[in-house]
Structure 1
Amino acid sequence: MEHLQNNLLNAYERGFIDRYTGKVSHHPPELIINTKEENVLSPMLDALESCESFVISVAFITEGGIASLKTALYELNKRGVRGRIITSTYLNFNKPTVFKELLKIPNIDVRITDQAGFHAKGYIFDNSRYSTMFIGSSNLTDSALKKNYEYNLKLTSLDNGEVIHNFKEQFEVLWESSTALSDEWIRDYQDLYKELKHDDKVLHLIENKQPYRYTNNDPKEITPNIMQREALESLKGLRLRGEDKGLIVSATGTGKTYLSAFDVKQFDPERVLFIAHREQILQKSLQDYRDLINSDVENFGIYSGTARDKHAKYLFATVQTLSREDHLYQFNRDDFDYIVIDEAHRSGADTYHKIINYFTPKFLLGMTATPERTDNTEIFSLFDYNIAYEIRLQKALEAEILAPFHYFGVTDFESDGETITDDSVLTDLIHEDRIDHIIDKLYYYSHAGEEVRGLMFVSNRKEAAELSRLLNERGFKTKSLTGLDSQEDRDQAVKQLEKNELDYLITVDIFNEGIDIPSVNQVVMLRQTESSIIFVQQLGRGLRKHESKEFLTVIDFIGNYKNNYLIPVALTGDKSFNKDNLRRNLMNRNMISGESTINFERIAQERIFKSISKNRASDLANLRKMYAYTKDKLGHIPSLVDLHNDQDAMSPMLVLNKFNHYPAFLKKLKEPVKPLTNGQDKILTFLSKEVVDGKRVQEVLLLQDLLVNDHVDKIDFQLGIREKGYYMTDRTMRSILRMLTLEFYTSQSVNKYKYPLIKVEDNKITLSKEFNDALKDENFKADVEDVLALAVLQSEDYNQRQPLTLNEKYSRKDVCRVLNWDKDESSVMYGYKNKHNTVPIFINYNKSEDIDDSVKYDDRFLDSHVFQWFTRKGTDLNSKINKEIIEDYKNDEVTLYLFVKKDEAEAEHYYLGEVDIDLESAENLENGIGDGNHKVARMNFILEDPVEYGVFRYFESAIKTESN
């Protein structure tokens, strides 16, 4: 405890007196605000998850604020940890539903104070060693915790601290005088609340949150949102370039129909044809057009079913009716100036082709949320490969076009160590105990507002029918719907849901698209994630804004499904399928924008980690599928740069990590590629393995210069690099030359690559004869230019003004190269090495349980600024290597660099920056380490920059990755 006390004293000295103090300090005071990179919620959840008790005193609480904490509170309840909350009815801000939600949480006690003007905002989380306090401006609301501009001070204190003592003392006084929350109290408050006129201005003033506004039939009130404005400009520019077709890719709920109507007004056609696959969509789209376009009612018509408004200026037709020849040929080919294809991903079907090929409009617009198809159809050629505009889930959330959501990845039912899998039979899916489990989760994670309007997605039709029957027996109002149900039955069920005559619609093969129920406030996923496309489609069913809900609740029941790794892919839109990225994203509380949150119960999270380790996204079948999508989108064989630039494409690095180079991959796909000579193969392999990552762009720029110039002057090149602001020293230049002449590499690598790329004579640099000869082949030259262009794009992820970039990943060989070592010494690094005035230190954070105790060091973060490090087995402060490092450090003759990876499953280490040695902490362990009492020393490193929150949390998480 004395050690912790001294460190806290040092922390407060750094926080309030001298931020440059070199003293070891744990848990420094921090000012926390909501930005794109950080928010109040994340560190608060960290403190909550590790506490043994907590107290919260806040004036205002929202359902979304409670939802943000529910998973953490669920895990605490499993550990027997309880907490207390004091809140109020000040300004009647807290809704009755808020108190109902608080009462559902079994491990918190809630009291309501009648203290006049109660406006407190304080949180304390206690553990056995210290307390963490958050004092500032944030109420327990989703806006205050993640979005609003708030000031909050995070402080760490021991029990004897005056501030913490005063807070707890005042809390107890208030607690004793407050009223315990109960069902009876809520009923009384609800009656009072209904009598009061709840002023929306109060909500706005307190939370800076405008209530959702909806348009009426006055077209002047409807204005384009940010996505629509940008898309309209893009469509205008497309037509100015002479194009007559375009495709809009826009997330569900972002207003595609209104966008098309805005563009119709912008285009001002004589006649318009709007095509959809369901009459329900036509009716809604016609109404949207009427809301926006100021025209006589008789100018709008339907061509479907029994309706035949053939001469309407704005004609809305179903594809099934219009594609029939007896209907299609009643129209002239040039009858419509402007044609809209809704749900354009369906337009690969013959019925759509017949219509599109018949008419000759001045402009054809396609609209879809998911151009990536699971049925291998291709639609891009129908729109001449003109993607006018794209807005995906993340961007739409950032723009606040969609309703925020709280996603809960919950643990599916488990019995005797067995849980639901991809192969589970119906009896397992509808087992009585699983139904109880589902109901418990629905009750706990709940929904926004008084009444639930939910969609459940299940695995098969029989499950849908049986689940509906069993839930109805338990008092729910549900109906199962499948593709076997008529359109009339579907429409009727949707109306019943909207009127609260049903709680849930349970479906398996419909409602992924083409359904618009804005009031849906809960989406329940009771099936394996088949694809990220379907996941986003189903999530999107509830993302439309509606006055009855402040957010959407998503409850995803996660069993032992092989495709669980697709969940972080779908939520982040990161299609690199890099396993390390997926793991880190899974731990990153900030993976989603705005007020939305992503929450995983611990066992559910472990199941996803397991799936990530076993995923085969880089298998040829998956690569072929992802490649085909981009090829279809472009209309030609994509280059590496094309793959990189397409936000929906696979990462080209997936290919280059699996194949020697891109032509080898194309050859495997049986694409028409010209064979490479042996020399071309080896040179392209070198570029694709050693240069393309862009971790040091200078060597890429040198090669690009040499492709267009006979030679490059070394001095001129160095000056040019410095003028760009990039890092360059004489040692850097020497390192670049040694790399491209292969002098840097081990004999094994030299045998693999064989041909140097450059030749150096004094200050003159030229291409090697072998490389120069190979470049006479234009196809090969194009491949080289493609790899180098990709390397430049990759380099944008790195700070080229210095050798290493914080929080990026490096192999030991990378580090030898960018620190300008003469040779690749990665194979004899042994954890750390002192060379060329640099000491890179590599840490495996979570040691395998199988390794010998003598090397199972307790290397760990003491906090985000301080890292505890152990020297190599068998060495201590008196050993030559460690004495040299410490002496060189004292004399300012060496720089120490810290690299950490989570465990052996990761291939590369995160660079966490330069570190200083806390010399006072350096000590030999008296009893050594391991059974043999091997000598070893321990010391603390002070990080120049605190570890980024997401990386820190990733390392500190107890969940381990698994080797492939």
Structure 2
Amino acid sequence: MTYQLRDYQTDLLDRINKAWFSGHRSLLCQLPTGGGKTIVFSTVVHQASKSGLKCLVLAHREELIKQAADKIEIITNEPVGIIKAGYPANYDRDIQVASVQSLVRRLDRCPQFDLIVVDEAHHSTSRTYRTILDRYPNARVLGVTATPIRLDAKGFRGIFDELICGVTVSELIASGSLCQYKYFASERSMSVENVGKRQGDFKTEDVARANPVAGLAGDVVKSYRDYLPGKQAVIFCINVEHSIAIAEHFKAAGIIAHHLDGNSSSGERADVMTQFTDKQIQVLTNCALFDEGLDIPSLDGVILARPTQSLSRFLQMVGRALRVCEGKEHAIIIDLAGNYERLGMPDDVRAWTLDGLEKKQRERSKLVRNKETGEVEEIVIDLTPTGTKFIEIVGRSIELTPELSFWIDKCNRILFERELNDRKAAWCMYRLMESETKPPLEAWQYLGKKLGYHHGWAKYKFAEWQSISEREVSA
């Protein structure tokens, strides 16, 4: 079976191959959740396999392993070996998908590999991954992730020597590759007072202590009834006890719900996921299980019933709901924990580097709400007239028309030229002003957002350009 690659996926593949041919051995590739990372790396594996190379794909969860193996077999039409406890070993197959936990104990039994793909590569700094990668020093390496940042916000230099970033979440939404979303946040967020930190995120036991499940569960059920009634939702919880309790509250309210976590058996997880996919279950609660690897395009929304300081975890959670599905107008994201205040919005522009998130960009994406106007930098907050203590966070979105598509392409070419020639940000403005036809306001908004400017910059520059054009005409 042949997948029809989207233009941005083809561009990403070209850049990956060019980086390898230019001498880079170990690449880190970034593409947002829902952008088709599995299809991209499966195509890379297919190309390598056709050239006679032995390929290894690393993943850390059974769902990810099965997804990768299934997709690769479809694309390559070749049998794939799975290296994991409970699966028969087929080391003679040229393509292997392996559990890192199993492979690290079987390295002496495995063949040499020419290409190693690391799925969810933001985990690759752990000792287990590094032990495996060190075993194959001559292999080409491709790490793939939506969030090239560690929980402690540090980067990956020393493991990867080149970062290749794909299109942004906002670009995928504008092109229809991801769906629009509505973001609801509680005016009274979950407490993080006196909560300690561990490895860059809040301590789970402290968060649970600060937010008793009895009151929290009621808020979760109410928010579901208000914004996702009768729809399918995944709820991200603080710990297993909270997840179980919240599922029970849903059941008591007559809503079909089920809890899963990392200790659930493979059989139970498979059975529940089948029921959820078939819409026999409305609500799925979990603890640290579905941050990654959940691929259900019909999912209507997510509820964040846990605070986090990890940008990676936040983007992975909200990204579960952004996949496109027929009949799905928008995703619903309900934030009970004030995560948007710490980490921004799902489609904020972020400057990824091998050293972590660029500091200036992190500062620019800080959100501060004006209580009088309801405005937050880069977004607008409207109080919803529902009587509930929730506010809707509405991100700036641009409708992609054929004319605007031309201007977005032009802006992207300007940004690429700027990066290639190491130009200052202001240079992009003058390049856009050199256009033969007058750029619309949306073009200035797109360019400003890509450069990390405040939203008012676009309106100011558009008005300034109009004034210049009028003076030239009158002269």
Work out the CA distance in 1 between the residues paired with 2:184 and 2:364: 23
Counterparts in 2 of 1:307 and 1:453: CA distance versus 1, 3 Å: farther
2:168 to 377, 382, 392: 392
Question: What pairs with 1:359-374 in structure 2 (closer than 5 Å)?
Answer: 359-360=136-137, 362-374=139-151
Counterparts in 2 of 1:528 and 1:946: CA distance versus 1, 3 Å: farther
Pairwise CA distance, 1:606 = 11
Residues 385-415 of structure 1: CA deviation (Å, up to 9, x unaligned)? 2113333322322333223322222445xxx
Judge conservation of contact 2:341–2:367 (CA < 8 Å) in 1: no
AA paired with 2:192? Answer: D
Counterparts in 2 of 1:598 and 1:373: CA distance versus 1, 3 Å: farther
Pairwise CA distance, 1:339 = 2.0
Counterparts in 2 of 1:444 and 1:264: CA distance versus 1, 3 Å: same
Indicate the structure (1 or 2) with the bigger Cα radius of gyration: 1
Work out the CA distance in 1 between the residues paired with 2:75 and 2:458: 54
| Equivalent position of 2:200 in the other structure | none
Question: What pairs with 1:311-322 in structure 2 (closer than 5 Å)?
Answer: 311-322=92-103
Residues 242-269 of structure 1: CA deviation (Å, up to 9, x unaligned)? 3332221111111111111222333433
Work out the CA distance in 2 between the residues paired with 1:555 and 1:248: 29
Structure 2 residue 85 is the aligned partner of structure 1 residue 347: no
Residues 285-335 of structure 1: CA deviation (Å, up to 9, x unaligned)? 12211222244xxx32222123201111222221111111xx2112343xx
Residues 513-569 of structure 1: CA deviation (Å, up to 9, x unaligned)? 2333333221011232423322211011122334474432212225xx5x6522535
SS in 2 for 1:329: helix
Work out the CA distance in 2 between the residues paired with 1:497 and 1:253: 19
Counterparts in 2 of 1:599 and 1:359: CA distance versus 1, 3 Å: farther
Counterparts in 2 of 1:320 and 1:912: CA distance versus 1, 3 Å: closer
Pairwise CA distance, 1:578 = 3.8
Question: What pairs with 1:679-758 in structure 2 (closer than 5 Å)?
Answer: none
Judge conservation of contact 2:342–2:367 (CA < 8 Å) in 1: no
AA paired with 1:422? Answer: V
Structure 2 residue 187 is the aligned partner of structure 1 residue 407: no
1:577 to 363, 371, 385: 363
Counterparts in 2 of 1:598 and 1:224: CA distance versus 1, 3 Å: farther
| Equivalent position of 1:886 in the other structure | none
Pairwise CA distance, 1:472 = 1.1
Pairwise CA distance, 1:576 = 4.1
Judge conservation of contact 2:382–2:392 (CA < 8 Å) in 1: no
Question: What pairs with 1:403-442 in structure 2 (closer than 5 Å)?
Answer: 403-412=179-188, 420-423=190-193, 429-431=212-214, 435=217, 437-442=219-224
AA paired with 2:171? Answer: K
1:473 to 252, 262, 267: 252
2:36 to 241, 255, 264: 255
Judge conservation of contact 1:569–1:577 (CA < 8 Å) in 2: no
| Equivalent position of 1:302 in the other structure | 82
Judge conservation of contact 1:348–1:377 (CA < 8 Å) in 2: no
Judge conservation of contact 1:341–1:367 (CA < 8 Å) in 2: yes
Judge conservation of contact 1:511–1:538 (CA < 8 Å) in 2: yes
| Equivalent position of 2:426 in the other structure | 795
Structure 1 unaligned segments of length 5 or more: list them.
1-218, 413-418, 592-596, 609-643, 647-788, 802-806, 808-908, 915-942, 948-964
Structure 2 residue 275 is the aligned partner of structure 1 residue 496: yes
Work out the CA distance in 2 between the residues paired with 1:389 and 1:910: 25
Work out the CA distance in 2 between the residues paired with 1:277 and 1:580: 32
Pairwise CA distance, 1:231 = 0.7
SS in 1 for 2:92: coil
Judge conservation of contact 1:532–1:570 (CA < 8 Å) in 2: no
Judge conservation of contact 2:344–2:367 (CA < 8 Å) in 1: no
Counterparts in 2 of 1:328 and 1:233: CA distance versus 1, 3 Å: same
SS in 1 for 2:236: strand
Work out the CA distance in 1 between the residues paired with 2:332 and 2:221: 15
Work out the CA distance in 1 between the residues paired with 2:300 and 2:426: 43
Work out the CA distance in 1 between the residues paired with 2:89 and 2:392: 57
Structure 2 residue 10 is the aligned partner of structure 1 residue 224: no
Counterparts in 2 of 1:394 and 1:303: CA distance versus 1, 3 Å: same
| Equivalent position of 1:869 in the other structure | none
AA paired with 2:233? Answer: G
2:26 to 220, 242, 245: 245
| Equivalent position of 2:56 in the other structure | 273
Judge conservation of contact 2:374–2:382 (CA < 8 Å) in 1: no
Judge conservation of contact 2:179–2:330 (CA < 8 Å) in 1: yes
Pairwise CA distance, 1:275 = 1.6
Counterparts in 2 of 1:286 and 1:431: CA distance versus 1, 3 Å: closer
Pairwise CA distance, 1:441 = 3.0
| Equivalent position of 2:313 in the other structure | 534
Judge conservation of contact 1:532–1:569 (CA < 8 Å) in 2: no
Counterparts in 2 of 1:233 and 1:580: CA distance versus 1, 3 Å: closer
SS in 1 for 2:158: helix
Residues 482-516 of structure 1: CA deviation (Å, up to 9, x unaligned)? 34444444333322322323221212322112333
Higher relative contact order (CA 8 A, sep 6+): 2
Pairwise CA distance, 1:382 = 1.9
Judge conservation of contact 1:405–1:553 (CA < 8 Å) in 2: yes
Judge conservation of contact 2:368–2:376 (CA < 8 Å) in 1: no
Judge conservation of contact 2:367–2:377 (CA < 8 Å) in 1: no
Structure 2 unaligned segments of length 5 or more: list them.
194-206, 351-360, 395-417, 434-440, 442-455, 468-475
Counterparts in 2 of 1:430 and 1:588: CA distance versus 1, 3 Å: closer
1:587 to 364, 375, 380: 375
Q: TM-score, normalised by structure 2?
A: 0.70
2:302 to 488, 509, 523: 523
AA paired with 1:587? Answer: E
Pairwise CA distance, 1:337 = 2.5
| Equivalent position of 1:509 in the other structure | 288
SS in 1 for 2:159: helix
Pairwise CA distance, 1:237 = 1.0
Counterparts in 2 of 1:294 and 1:586: CA distance versus 1, 3 Å: farther
Work out the CA distance in 1 between the residues paired with 2:304 and 2:32: 19
Judge conservation of contact 2:182–2:393 (CA < 8 Å) in 1: no
Q: How many residues align?
A: 392
Judge conservation of contact 1:523–1:554 (CA < 8 Å) in 2: yes
Pairwise CA distance, 1:429 = 4.2
| Equivalent position of 2:228 in the other structure | 446
Judge conservation of contact 1:339–1:365 (CA < 8 Å) in 2: yes
Work out the CA distance in 2 between the residues paired with 1:544 and 1:302: 27
Counterparts in 2 of 1:910 and 1:511: CA distance versus 1, 3 Å: closer
Work out the CA distance in 2 between the residues paired with 1:579 and 1:280: 33
Question: What pairs with 1:15-26 in structure 2 (closer than 5 Å)?
Answer: none
Counterparts in 2 of 1:278 and 1:946: CA distance versus 1, 3 Å: same
Work out the CA distance in 1 between the residues paired with 2:336 and 2:140: 45
SS in 1 for 2:65: helix
Counterparts in 2 of 1:484 and 1:375: CA distance versus 1, 3 Å: farther
Judge conservation of contact 2:221–2:249 (CA < 8 Å) in 1: no
Work out the CA distance in 2 between the residues paired with 1:797 and 1:514: 38
Residues 103-132 of structure 1: CA deviation (Å, up to 9, x unaligned)? xxxxxxxxxxxxxxxxxxxxxxxxxxxxxx
| Equivalent position of 2:471 in the other structure | none
Work out the CA distance in 2 between the residues paired with 1:422 and 1:400: 36
Work out the CA distance in 2 between the residues paired with 1:310 and 1:300: 10
Counterparts in 2 of 1:435 and 1:262: CA distance versus 1, 3 Å: closer
Work out the CA distance in 2 between the residues paired with 1:289 and 1:945: 50
Counterparts in 2 of 1:550 and 1:293: CA distance versus 1, 3 Å: farther
AA paired with 1:313? Answer: D
SS in 2 for 1:515: coil
Work out the CA distance in 2 between the residues paired with 1:425 and 1:236: 46
